[in-house]
Structure 1
Amino acid sequence: MFDYSKSAVVLIGLALFILSSCSSKKNILFNTYQEKSISNLPVYTAQEGDATITSKEQIIQPGNTLSILNLQNEALISGLGGQNMQNLNQSTGMVYRVETDSTVLLPVIGKIKLGGLSRIHAQEELNRLYQTQLLSAPIITLKINNLTVTFLGEFNKQGNYLLQKDQVHLVQMMGEAGGLNNRANKRKIKIIRGNLQHPEVLIANLEDINSLADPRLMLRDNDVIYAQPRGAFQTLDRIGPATSFLGVGLSILNLYLLISNLSK
Protein backbone atom coordinates (compact mmCIF):
# COMPACT_ATOMS: atom_id res chain seq x y z
CA MET A 1 0.00 0.00 0.00
CA PHE A 2 1.29 3.40 -0.98
CA ASP A 3 2.32 5.54 2.05
CA TYR A 4 1.03 9.07 1.37
CA SER A 5 2.56 10.51 4.53
CA LYS A 6 6.07 9.38 3.53
CA SER A 7 5.56 10.81 0.06
CA ALA A 8 4.51 14.14 1.52
CA VAL A 9 7.64 14.25 3.70
CA VAL A 10 9.86 13.48 0.70
CA LEU A 11 8.22 16.22 -1.39
CA ILE A 12 8.56 18.76 1.41
CA GLY A 13 12.22 17.85 1.86
CA LEU A 14 12.88 18.20 -1.88
CA ALA A 15 11.15 21.58 -2.01
CA LEU A 16 13.13 22.71 1.04
CA PHE A 17 16.41 21.74 -0.66
CA ILE A 18 15.50 23.63 -3.83
CA LEU A 19 14.46 26.75 -1.91
CA SER A 20 17.66 26.66 0.13
CA SER A 21 19.77 26.37 -3.02
CA CYS A 22 18.00 29.23 -4.77
CA SER A 23 18.38 31.57 -1.80
CA SER A 24 22.02 30.76 -1.08
CA LYS A 25 23.19 34.08 -2.52
CA LYS A 26 20.15 36.14 -1.70
CA ASN A 27 22.10 38.99 -0.10
CA ILE A 28 25.25 38.74 -2.21
CA LEU A 29 25.85 41.27 -5.01
CA PHE A 30 28.52 41.91 -7.63
CA ASN A 31 30.01 38.42 -7.82
CA THR A 32 33.02 38.04 -10.11
CA TYR A 33 34.00 34.99 -12.11
CA GLN A 34 37.67 35.22 -11.26
CA GLU A 35 39.38 36.72 -8.23
CA LYS A 36 43.17 36.56 -8.41
CA SER A 37 45.21 37.51 -5.38
CA ILE A 38 48.16 39.89 -5.64
CA SER A 39 50.84 38.76 -3.21
CA ASN A 40 51.87 40.99 -0.31
CA LEU A 41 48.98 43.41 -0.82
CA PRO A 42 45.81 43.82 1.22
CA VAL A 43 43.90 44.53 -1.99
CA TYR A 44 43.51 42.41 -5.10
CA THR A 45 41.92 43.03 -8.45
CA ALA A 46 39.50 40.70 -10.18
CA GLN A 47 40.43 41.83 -13.67
CA GLU A 48 43.33 43.32 -15.53
CA GLY A 49 42.89 47.04 -15.06
CA ASP A 50 43.62 50.47 -16.39
CA ALA A 51 46.87 52.05 -15.23
CA THR A 52 44.90 55.04 -13.96
CA ILE A 53 43.37 52.85 -11.24
CA THR A 54 46.16 53.89 -8.86
CA SER A 55 45.84 57.61 -9.64
CA LYS A 56 44.87 59.85 -6.76
CA GLU A 57 43.53 62.52 -9.12
CA GLN A 58 39.87 62.56 -10.03
CA ILE A 59 39.05 62.10 -13.73
CA ILE A 60 36.52 64.48 -15.30
CA GLN A 61 33.49 62.64 -16.68
CA PRO A 62 30.30 63.57 -18.56
CA GLY A 63 27.73 64.91 -16.12
CA ASN A 64 30.31 66.52 -13.83
CA THR A 65 29.97 70.20 -13.04
CA LEU A 66 33.15 72.26 -12.95
CA SER A 67 33.83 75.45 -11.01
CA ILE A 68 36.38 77.55 -12.90
CA LEU A 69 37.94 80.62 -11.31
CA ASN A 70 40.52 83.08 -12.61
CA LEU A 71 42.32 84.27 -9.50
CA GLN A 72 43.53 87.45 -11.23
CA ASN A 73 40.28 88.80 -12.66
CA GLU A 74 37.20 86.62 -12.94
CA ALA A 75 35.48 89.07 -15.32
CA LEU A 76 38.05 88.31 -18.02
CA ILE A 77 36.86 84.72 -18.48
CA SER A 78 33.31 84.87 -17.14
CA GLY A 79 31.72 86.70 -20.04
CA LEU A 80 30.05 88.93 -17.46
CA GLY A 81 30.55 92.48 -16.42
CA GLY A 82 29.12 95.31 -14.33
CA GLN A 83 26.18 94.34 -12.14
CA ASN A 84 26.21 90.78 -13.44
CA MET A 85 29.46 90.18 -11.59
CA GLN A 86 27.44 90.13 -8.38
CA ASN A 87 26.07 86.74 -9.47
CA LEU A 88 29.52 85.19 -9.31
CA ASN A 89 30.67 83.23 -6.30
CA GLN A 90 34.06 84.78 -5.65
CA SER A 91 35.35 81.61 -3.98
CA THR A 92 34.31 79.07 -6.65
CA GLY A 93 33.87 81.01 -9.89
CA MET A 94 31.47 80.12 -12.67
CA VAL A 95 29.97 76.64 -12.91
CA TYR A 96 29.99 74.71 -16.20
CA ARG A 97 28.58 71.29 -17.07
CA VAL A 98 30.51 68.55 -18.87
CA GLU A 99 28.33 67.36 -21.75
CA THR A 100 27.80 63.76 -22.89
CA ASP A 101 30.54 64.19 -25.53
CA SER A 102 32.98 65.20 -22.73
CA THR A 103 33.13 68.83 -23.88
CA VAL A 104 32.61 72.06 -21.94
CA LEU A 105 31.51 75.35 -23.50
CA LEU A 106 33.63 78.18 -22.04
CA PRO A 107 33.76 81.94 -22.67
CA VAL A 108 36.29 83.18 -25.23
CA ILE A 109 37.84 79.78 -26.05
CA GLY A 110 34.55 78.06 -26.88
CA LYS A 111 33.94 74.30 -26.73
CA ILE A 112 36.87 72.19 -25.49
CA LYS A 113 37.15 68.56 -24.43
CA LEU A 114 37.96 68.14 -20.72
CA GLY A 115 36.31 64.77 -20.10
CA GLY A 116 38.87 62.04 -19.56
CA LEU A 117 41.45 64.44 -18.14
CA SER A 118 42.48 64.56 -14.52
CA ARG A 119 41.56 67.73 -12.65
CA ILE A 120 45.22 68.88 -12.66
CA HIS A 121 45.68 68.24 -16.40
CA ALA A 122 42.42 70.05 -17.22
CA GLN A 123 43.51 73.01 -15.11
CA GLU A 124 46.85 73.14 -16.93
CA GLU A 125 45.08 72.99 -20.31
CA LEU A 126 42.79 75.90 -19.37
CA ASN A 127 45.74 78.01 -18.29
CA ARG A 128 47.48 77.25 -21.61
CA LEU A 129 44.46 78.06 -23.76
CA TYR A 130 43.57 81.30 -21.97
CA GLN A 131 47.18 82.41 -22.09
CA THR A 132 47.21 81.81 -25.84
CA GLN A 133 43.94 83.60 -26.56
CA LEU A 134 43.32 86.17 -23.84
CA LEU A 135 45.53 86.51 -20.77
CA SER A 136 49.25 87.11 -20.40
CA ALA A 137 49.75 85.11 -17.20
CA PRO A 138 46.48 83.46 -16.11
CA ILE A 139 46.06 81.76 -12.74
CA ILE A 140 43.02 79.56 -13.29
CA THR A 141 41.77 76.97 -10.83
CA LEU A 142 39.30 74.17 -11.51
CA LYS A 143 37.21 72.13 -9.11
CA ILE A 144 34.92 69.15 -9.80
CA ASN A 145 31.78 69.78 -7.75
CA ASN A 146 29.66 66.62 -7.85
CA LEU A 147 32.03 63.75 -7.09
CA THR A 148 29.83 60.93 -5.81
CA VAL A 149 30.35 57.42 -4.41
CA THR A 150 27.74 54.82 -3.48
CA PHE A 151 27.79 52.57 -0.38
CA LEU A 152 25.76 49.35 -0.51
CA GLY A 153 25.50 46.21 1.57
CA GLU A 154 26.49 45.82 5.20
CA PHE A 155 27.03 49.49 6.07
CA ASN A 156 25.04 51.22 8.78
CA LYS A 157 23.97 53.95 6.33
CA GLN A 158 23.71 52.93 2.69
CA GLY A 159 23.42 55.63 0.06
CA ASN A 160 25.18 58.14 -2.18
CA TYR A 161 27.84 60.41 -0.69
CA LEU A 162 29.68 63.45 -2.05
CA LEU A 163 33.46 63.55 -2.02
CA GLN A 164 34.49 66.96 -0.72
CA LYS A 165 38.04 66.80 -2.12
CA ASP A 166 40.15 64.92 -4.65
CA GLN A 167 41.89 62.57 -2.27
CA VAL A 168 39.51 60.75 0.06
CA HIS A 169 40.40 57.33 1.45
CA LEU A 170 37.89 54.50 1.68
CA VAL A 171 38.17 54.46 5.47
CA GLN A 172 37.33 58.17 5.71
CA MET A 173 34.15 57.75 3.66
CA MET A 174 33.15 54.64 5.60
CA GLY A 175 32.92 56.96 8.59
CA GLU A 176 30.38 59.04 6.64
CA ALA A 177 28.41 55.86 5.97
CA GLY A 178 28.29 55.00 9.67
CA GLY A 179 30.90 52.24 9.42
CA LEU A 180 30.28 48.52 8.97
CA ASN A 181 27.57 46.67 10.82
CA ASN A 182 28.21 43.42 12.71
CA ARG A 183 27.25 41.30 9.69
CA ALA A 184 29.98 42.66 7.42
CA ASN A 185 32.94 40.69 6.14
CA LYS A 186 35.80 43.11 6.86
CA ARG A 187 38.15 41.10 4.68
CA LYS A 188 36.06 41.52 1.56
CA ILE A 189 35.02 45.12 0.89
CA LYS A 190 34.57 45.53 -2.85
CA ILE A 191 35.26 48.75 -4.77
CA ILE A 192 33.76 48.70 -8.26
CA ARG A 193 34.93 51.46 -10.57
CA GLY A 194 35.43 52.51 -14.15
CA ASN A 195 33.49 51.40 -17.20
CA LEU A 196 30.39 49.52 -16.04
CA GLN A 197 30.68 47.22 -19.09
CA HIS A 198 34.18 46.16 -17.98
CA PRO A 199 34.54 47.39 -14.40
CA GLU A 200 37.61 47.28 -12.20
CA VAL A 201 36.93 45.33 -9.02
CA LEU A 202 39.17 45.87 -6.01
CA ILE A 203 38.74 43.90 -2.84
CA ALA A 204 40.08 45.43 0.36
CA ASN A 205 41.00 43.52 3.49
CA LEU A 206 40.39 46.12 6.18
CA GLU A 207 41.74 43.82 8.88
CA ASP A 208 45.19 44.47 7.39
CA ILE A 209 46.70 47.77 8.62
CA ASN A 210 48.67 48.02 5.36
CA SER A 211 45.45 48.76 3.50
CA LEU A 212 45.62 52.32 4.82
CA ALA A 213 48.73 52.95 2.71
CA ASP A 214 47.40 51.48 -0.53
CA PRO A 215 46.76 54.29 -3.09
CA ARG A 216 44.07 52.25 -4.84
CA LEU A 217 41.78 52.78 -1.86
CA MET A 218 41.59 56.50 -2.61
CA LEU A 219 38.02 56.75 -3.86
CA ARG A 220 37.13 57.89 -7.35
CA ASP A 221 34.02 59.52 -8.76
CA ASN A 222 31.16 57.00 -9.24
CA ASP A 223 32.85 54.25 -7.23
CA VAL A 224 30.46 51.65 -5.80
CA ILE A 225 31.58 50.29 -2.42
CA TYR A 226 29.93 47.05 -1.41
CA ALA A 227 30.30 45.17 1.90
CA GLN A 228 28.98 41.63 1.80
CA PRO A 229 27.90 39.60 4.84
CA ARG A 230 30.15 37.06 6.53
CA GLY A 231 29.64 33.39 5.80
CA ALA A 232 27.74 32.73 9.02
CA PHE A 233 25.15 35.38 8.18
CA GLN A 234 24.85 34.09 4.62
CA THR A 235 23.97 30.70 6.15
CA LEU A 236 21.38 32.30 8.42
CA ASP A 237 19.89 34.10 5.43
CA ARG A 238 19.53 30.73 3.70
CA ILE A 239 18.00 29.06 6.74
CA GLY A 240 15.43 31.82 7.32
CA PRO A 241 13.20 31.31 4.26
CA ALA A 242 13.85 27.56 4.30
CA THR A 243 12.64 27.32 7.91
CA SER A 244 9.50 29.26 7.05
CA PHE A 245 8.81 26.93 4.15
CA LEU A 246 9.39 23.89 6.36
CA GLY A 247 6.88 25.25 8.87
CA VAL A 248 4.26 25.60 6.15
CA GLY A 249 5.06 22.12 4.87
CA LEU A 250 4.73 20.56 8.31
CA SER A 251 1.41 22.33 8.84
CA ILE A 252 0.12 20.90 5.57
CA LEU A 253 1.38 17.46 6.55
CA ASN A 254 -0.32 17.66 9.97
CA LEU A 255 -3.55 18.71 8.31
CA TYR A 256 -3.27 15.81 5.87
CA LEU A 257 -2.67 13.30 8.70
CA LEU A 258 -5.56 14.71 10.72
CA ILE A 259 -7.99 14.40 7.80
CA SER A 260 -6.63 10.94 7.02
CA ASN A 261 -7.23 9.78 10.62
CA LEU A 262 -10.71 11.26 10.76
CA SER A 263 -11.68 9.54 7.52
CA LYS A 264 -10.84 6.09 8.91
Structure 2
Amino acid sequence: MRSLWIVMIPVMMLLFGGCSANKEYKYFNQNLDEEKVVTEVSDEEYEAEKRYEWKIQPGDRLEIRVFNQSASSVGGQMTSILDQSLTYMNRSGVDGMLVPPDGKIHIPLIGTVAVEGLTETKAAQRLTQEYKKYLRNPFVSVKILNQRLLVLGEVGSPGVVPVNSGTMTLFEALAMTGDLTDDAMRTNILIIRGDLRHPQVRKVDLTDMRKLRVASLILRPNDIVYVQPRNMKAIMKEMVEMGSYFNFLNTIMSPFLTYQAIDQGYNIGIVPGNSGN
Protein backbone atom coordinates (compact mmCIF):
# COMPACT_ATOMS: atom_id res chain seq x y z
CA MET A 1 0.00 0.00 0.00
CA ARG A 2 2.80 2.37 0.84
CA SER A 3 4.48 1.66 -2.50
CA LEU A 4 1.22 2.54 -4.28
CA TRP A 5 1.14 5.92 -2.57
CA ILE A 6 4.78 6.48 -3.44
CA VAL A 7 3.92 5.99 -7.09
CA MET A 8 0.68 7.99 -6.96
CA ILE A 9 2.16 11.06 -5.29
CA PRO A 10 4.40 12.04 -8.26
CA VAL A 11 1.52 11.31 -10.67
CA MET A 12 -0.73 13.68 -8.73
CA MET A 13 2.06 16.23 -8.69
CA LEU A 14 2.25 15.97 -12.47
CA LEU A 15 -1.48 16.49 -12.95
CA PHE A 16 -1.72 19.46 -10.61
CA GLY A 17 1.55 20.83 -11.95
CA GLY A 18 0.14 20.60 -15.48
CA CYS A 19 -2.88 22.67 -14.48
CA SER A 20 -0.61 25.28 -12.93
CA ALA A 21 1.69 25.24 -15.96
CA ASN A 22 -1.30 25.91 -18.22
CA LYS A 23 -1.86 29.26 -16.51
CA GLU A 24 1.75 30.29 -17.01
CA TYR A 25 2.18 28.69 -20.42
CA LYS A 26 -0.58 30.67 -22.16
CA TYR A 27 -0.54 34.41 -22.85
CA PHE A 28 -3.47 36.57 -21.68
CA ASN A 29 -4.86 33.60 -19.78
CA GLN A 30 -5.16 35.04 -16.29
CA ASN A 31 -7.71 37.64 -15.15
CA LEU A 32 -9.45 37.63 -18.53
CA ASP A 33 -12.98 38.96 -18.09
CA GLU A 34 -14.97 36.49 -20.18
CA GLU A 35 -18.06 38.69 -19.99
CA LYS A 36 -16.27 41.41 -21.95
CA VAL A 37 -14.82 39.09 -24.60
CA VAL A 38 -16.51 39.70 -27.96
CA THR A 39 -17.68 36.58 -29.78
CA GLU A 40 -20.47 38.06 -31.91
CA VAL A 41 -20.53 41.14 -34.15
CA SER A 42 -23.72 42.70 -35.47
CA ASP A 43 -24.33 43.15 -39.20
CA GLU A 44 -23.93 46.92 -38.84
CA GLU A 45 -20.57 46.55 -37.08
CA TYR A 46 -19.41 44.06 -39.69
CA GLU A 47 -20.28 46.41 -42.57
CA ALA A 48 -18.44 49.23 -40.81
CA GLU A 49 -15.37 47.01 -40.40
CA LYS A 50 -15.37 46.20 -44.12
CA ARG A 51 -15.27 49.95 -44.88
CA TYR A 52 -12.67 50.70 -42.21
CA GLU A 53 -9.74 52.97 -43.14
CA TRP A 54 -6.69 53.44 -40.95
CA LYS A 55 -6.07 56.99 -39.77
CA ILE A 56 -2.56 58.37 -39.77
CA GLN A 57 -0.89 58.43 -36.37
CA PRO A 58 2.48 59.62 -35.03
CA GLY A 59 5.09 56.99 -35.84
CA ASP A 60 3.56 56.09 -39.20
CA ARG A 61 5.72 56.31 -42.30
CA LEU A 62 4.18 57.86 -45.39
CA GLU A 63 5.01 57.50 -49.05
CA ILE A 64 4.03 60.79 -50.67
CA ARG A 65 4.11 61.23 -54.43
CA VAL A 66 3.39 64.53 -56.13
CA PHE A 67 2.54 64.87 -59.81
CA ASN A 68 1.72 67.89 -61.94
CA GLN A 69 -0.11 67.97 -65.24
CA SER A 70 1.63 70.30 -67.61
CA ALA A 71 -0.52 72.20 -70.12
CA SER A 72 2.10 71.56 -72.77
CA SER A 73 2.30 67.79 -72.12
CA VAL A 74 0.93 65.52 -74.82
CA GLY A 75 -2.37 63.92 -73.81
CA GLY A 76 -2.32 65.62 -70.45
CA GLN A 77 0.57 63.47 -69.16
CA MET A 78 1.29 63.76 -65.46
CA THR A 79 4.86 64.67 -64.60
CA SER A 80 6.32 63.41 -61.34
CA ILE A 81 7.93 66.05 -59.17
CA LEU A 82 9.52 66.22 -55.72
CA ASP A 83 9.66 62.41 -55.38
CA GLN A 84 13.30 62.36 -54.36
CA SER A 85 12.71 65.06 -51.77
CA LEU A 86 9.94 63.04 -50.08
CA THR A 87 11.70 59.68 -49.85
CA TYR A 88 13.56 58.69 -46.69
CA MET A 89 14.98 55.47 -45.31
CA ASN A 90 14.86 54.34 -41.68
CA ARG A 91 17.12 51.87 -39.88
CA SER A 92 14.91 48.92 -40.80
CA GLY A 93 15.02 49.77 -44.47
CA VAL A 94 11.43 51.06 -44.60
CA ASP A 95 11.29 54.18 -46.73
CA GLY A 96 8.86 57.01 -46.29
CA MET A 97 8.38 60.17 -44.26
CA LEU A 98 8.06 59.68 -40.49
CA VAL A 99 5.06 61.35 -38.86
CA PRO A 100 6.46 63.09 -35.73
CA PRO A 101 4.72 63.17 -32.33
CA ASP A 102 2.91 66.43 -33.14
CA GLY A 103 1.30 64.80 -36.20
CA LYS A 104 2.63 67.43 -38.62
CA ILE A 105 4.91 66.71 -41.57
CA HIS A 106 7.16 69.20 -43.33
CA ILE A 107 7.50 68.82 -47.08
CA PRO A 108 9.10 71.01 -49.76
CA LEU A 109 7.25 73.92 -51.30
CA ILE A 110 4.13 73.85 -49.10
CA GLY A 111 5.79 73.62 -45.67
CA THR A 112 4.16 72.08 -42.57
CA VAL A 113 0.88 70.19 -42.87
CA ALA A 114 -1.07 68.40 -40.12
CA VAL A 115 -1.95 64.86 -41.19
CA GLU A 116 -2.67 63.10 -37.89
CA GLY A 117 -6.16 61.61 -37.80
CA LEU A 118 -6.56 61.66 -41.59
CA THR A 119 -7.03 58.62 -43.82
CA GLU A 120 -4.75 58.18 -46.83
CA THR A 121 -7.47 59.61 -49.07
CA LYS A 122 -8.13 62.64 -46.86
CA ALA A 123 -4.40 63.34 -46.46
CA ALA A 124 -3.92 63.22 -50.23
CA GLN A 125 -6.82 65.66 -50.69
CA ARG A 126 -5.38 68.08 -48.12
CA LEU A 127 -1.92 68.02 -49.71
CA THR A 128 -3.43 68.47 -53.16
CA GLN A 129 -5.22 71.62 -51.99
CA GLU A 130 -1.95 72.96 -50.57
CA TYR A 131 -0.06 72.25 -53.79
CA LYS A 132 -2.73 74.01 -55.84
CA LYS A 133 -1.38 77.25 -54.38
CA TYR A 134 1.82 76.69 -56.35
CA LEU A 135 1.02 74.20 -59.14
CA ARG A 136 -1.66 74.36 -61.83
CA ASN A 137 -2.88 70.74 -61.84
CA PRO A 138 -1.31 68.85 -58.95
CA PHE A 139 -2.09 65.27 -58.03
CA VAL A 140 -0.91 63.78 -54.72
CA SER A 141 -0.98 60.17 -53.52
CA VAL A 142 -0.38 59.13 -49.92
CA LYS A 143 0.34 55.59 -48.73
CA ILE A 144 1.05 54.37 -45.20
CA LEU A 145 4.02 52.01 -45.47
CA ASN A 146 4.44 50.51 -42.00
CA GLN A 147 1.00 49.00 -41.30
CA ARG A 148 1.37 45.60 -39.66
CA LEU A 149 -0.10 43.23 -37.12
CA LEU A 150 1.32 40.51 -34.88
CA VAL A 151 0.56 36.79 -34.96
CA LEU A 152 1.75 34.87 -31.89
CA GLY A 153 1.42 31.37 -30.52
CA GLU A 154 0.80 28.09 -32.28
CA VAL A 155 1.43 29.00 -35.92
CA GLY A 156 4.18 27.85 -38.23
CA SER A 157 6.11 31.15 -38.27
CA PRO A 158 4.87 33.63 -35.66
CA GLY A 159 5.87 37.23 -36.17
CA VAL A 160 5.04 40.57 -37.78
CA VAL A 161 2.69 40.49 -40.78
CA PRO A 162 2.56 43.51 -43.14
CA VAL A 163 -0.90 44.88 -43.98
CA ASN A 164 -0.81 46.28 -47.50
CA SER A 165 -4.47 46.94 -48.20
CA GLY A 166 -5.73 48.62 -45.03
CA THR A 167 -7.25 45.49 -43.50
CA MET A 168 -6.66 41.73 -43.58
CA THR A 169 -8.71 38.66 -42.72
CA LEU A 170 -7.75 36.23 -39.99
CA PHE A 171 -7.34 33.47 -42.58
CA GLU A 172 -4.90 35.62 -44.59
CA ALA A 173 -2.82 36.30 -41.47
CA LEU A 174 -2.72 32.60 -40.57
CA ALA A 175 -1.79 31.65 -44.14
CA MET A 176 1.08 34.17 -44.13
CA THR A 177 2.44 32.73 -40.87
CA GLY A 178 2.45 29.08 -41.90
CA ASP A 179 -1.04 28.03 -40.72
CA LEU A 180 -1.90 26.50 -37.34
CA THR A 181 0.32 23.87 -35.75
CA ASP A 182 -0.95 20.51 -34.52
CA ASP A 183 -0.87 21.87 -30.95
CA ALA A 184 -3.08 24.88 -31.73
CA MET A 185 -6.37 25.35 -29.90
CA ARG A 186 -8.67 25.99 -32.85
CA THR A 187 -11.68 26.77 -30.68
CA ASN A 188 -10.21 29.74 -28.83
CA ILE A 189 -8.19 32.13 -31.00
CA LEU A 190 -7.84 35.57 -29.42
CA ILE A 191 -7.68 38.93 -31.21
CA ILE A 192 -6.43 41.82 -29.03
CA ARG A 193 -7.19 45.28 -30.39
CA GLY A 194 -6.73 48.88 -29.32
CA ASP A 195 -5.06 50.44 -26.29
CA LEU A 196 -3.10 47.76 -24.46
CA ARG A 197 -4.17 49.26 -21.12
CA HIS A 198 -7.83 48.82 -22.06
CA PRO A 199 -7.84 46.39 -24.98
CA GLN A 200 -10.82 44.88 -26.71
CA VAL A 201 -10.54 41.10 -26.79
CA ARG A 202 -12.28 38.98 -29.39
CA LYS A 203 -12.56 35.21 -29.45
CA VAL A 204 -12.91 33.15 -32.63
CA ASP A 205 -13.84 29.47 -32.90
CA LEU A 206 -12.64 28.17 -36.26
CA THR A 207 -14.31 24.79 -35.79
CA ASP A 208 -17.92 26.00 -35.74
CA MET A 209 -19.44 27.54 -38.87
CA ARG A 210 -22.42 28.89 -36.92
CA LYS A 211 -20.08 30.90 -34.69
CA LEU A 212 -18.02 32.08 -37.66
CA ARG A 213 -21.13 33.52 -39.29
CA VAL A 214 -21.68 35.92 -36.39
CA ALA A 215 -17.99 36.70 -35.74
CA SER A 216 -15.78 39.17 -37.56
CA LEU A 217 -12.60 37.81 -39.13
CA ILE A 218 -11.43 41.23 -40.34
CA LEU A 219 -8.16 42.37 -38.76
CA ARG A 220 -6.85 45.92 -38.47
CA PRO A 221 -3.27 47.19 -38.31
CA ASN A 222 -1.71 46.77 -34.85
CA ASP A 223 -4.05 43.89 -33.93
CA ILE A 224 -2.49 41.01 -32.00
CA VAL A 225 -3.62 37.52 -32.99
CA TYR A 226 -2.83 34.89 -30.39
CA VAL A 227 -3.33 31.20 -31.12
CA GLN A 228 -3.39 29.40 -27.79
CA PRO A 229 -1.82 25.94 -27.32
CA ARG A 230 -3.93 22.97 -26.33
CA ASN A 231 -3.96 22.12 -22.63
CA MET A 232 -2.20 18.83 -23.33
CA LYS A 233 0.89 20.66 -24.60
CA ALA A 234 1.47 22.23 -21.18
CA ILE A 235 1.01 18.84 -19.50
CA MET A 236 3.45 17.19 -21.93
CA LYS A 237 5.94 19.99 -21.30
CA GLU A 238 5.55 19.40 -17.56
CA MET A 239 6.19 15.68 -18.09
CA VAL A 240 9.44 16.40 -19.93
CA GLU A 241 10.57 18.75 -17.19
CA MET A 242 9.71 16.17 -14.52
CA GLY A 243 11.50 13.37 -16.36
CA SER A 244 14.68 13.94 -14.37
CA TYR A 245 12.63 13.85 -11.17
CA PHE A 246 11.17 10.45 -12.05
CA ASN A 247 14.63 9.12 -12.91
CA PHE A 248 15.89 10.30 -9.53
CA LEU A 249 12.85 8.80 -7.81
CA ASN A 250 13.43 5.48 -9.55
CA THR A 251 17.05 5.40 -8.41
CA ILE A 252 16.04 6.09 -4.82
CA MET A 253 13.09 3.70 -4.74
CA SER A 254 14.65 0.69 -6.49
CA PRO A 255 16.53 -0.61 -3.39
CA PHE A 256 13.44 -0.06 -1.23
CA LEU A 257 11.13 -1.90 -3.64
CA THR A 258 13.65 -4.73 -4.00
CA TYR A 259 13.92 -5.07 -0.22
CA GLN A 260 10.12 -5.01 0.09
CA ALA A 261 9.78 -7.78 -2.50
CA ILE A 262 12.33 -9.93 -0.68
CA ASP A 263 10.62 -9.24 2.64
CA GLN A 264 7.27 -10.31 1.23
CA GLY A 265 8.92 -13.40 -0.20
CA TYR A 266 10.12 -14.41 3.29
CA ASN A 267 6.67 -13.84 4.72
CA ILE A 268 5.00 -16.26 2.29
CA GLY A 269 7.82 -18.77 2.34
CA ILE A 270 9.42 -17.87 -0.97
CA VAL A 271 13.05 -17.24 -0.15
CA PRO A 272 15.79 -16.70 -2.74
CA GLY A 273 17.69 -19.96 -3.15
CA ASN A 274 14.87 -21.94 -1.53
CA SER A 275 12.64 -24.13 -3.72
CA GLY A 276 9.94 -24.06 -1.04
CA ASN A 277 10.82 -27.50 0.53
TM-score, reference length from structure 2: 0.66
2:49–2:218: 8 Å Cα contact kept in structure 1? no
Partner of 1:70: 66
Deviations 1:119-165 (A, max 9, x none): 2332333233333x334553211111122222211101112222222
Partner of 1:33: 32
Q: Which moved more, 1:155-164 or 1:228-237?
A: 228-237
Partner of 1:262: none
Q: Which residues of 2 match residues 188-207 of structure 1 at below 5 A? A: 188-207=188-207
Q: Distance in 1 between matches of 2:97 and 2:52?
A: 23
Give 1 or 2 for the bigger CA radius of gyration: 2
Q: CA RMSD in A?
A: 4.2
2:65–2:80: 8 Å Cα contact kept in structure 1? yes
Cα 1:109–1:214 change in 2 (3 A) is farther
Q: Distance in 1 between matches of 2:124 and 2:8?
A: 70
* Aligned positions, number: 241
Q: Distance in 1 between matches of 2:192 and 2:220?
A: 10
Q: Which residues of 2 match residues 122-141 of structure 1 at below 5 A? A: 122-131=123-132, 133-141=133-141
Give the drift of 1:71. Answer: 3.7
Show structure 1 runs of 5+ residues with no match. 44-51, 89-93, 260-264
Partner of 1:59: 55
Show structure 2 runs of 5+ residues with no match. 43-47, 69-78, 89-94, 260-277
2:22 corresponds, among 8, 21, 24, to 24
Q: Distance in 1 between matches of 2:213 and 2:128?
A: 33
Cα 1:256–1:61 change in 2 (3 A) is farther
Q: Which residues of 2 match residues 159-178 of structure 1 at below 5 A? A: 159-178=159-178
Partner of 1:147: 147
2:187–2:206: 8 Å Cα contact kept in structure 1? yes
Deviations 1:55-112 (A, max 9, x none): 632232333211111243432x5586xxxx9x99xxxxx9311123333222233233
2:120–2:142: 8 Å Cα contact kept in structure 1? yes
Cα 1:136–1:55 change in 2 (3 A) is same
TM-score, reference length from structure 1: 0.69
Q: Distance in 2 between matches of 1:163 and 1:39?
A: 23
Structure number with higher relative contact order (C-alpha < 8 Å, ≥ 6 residues apart)? 1
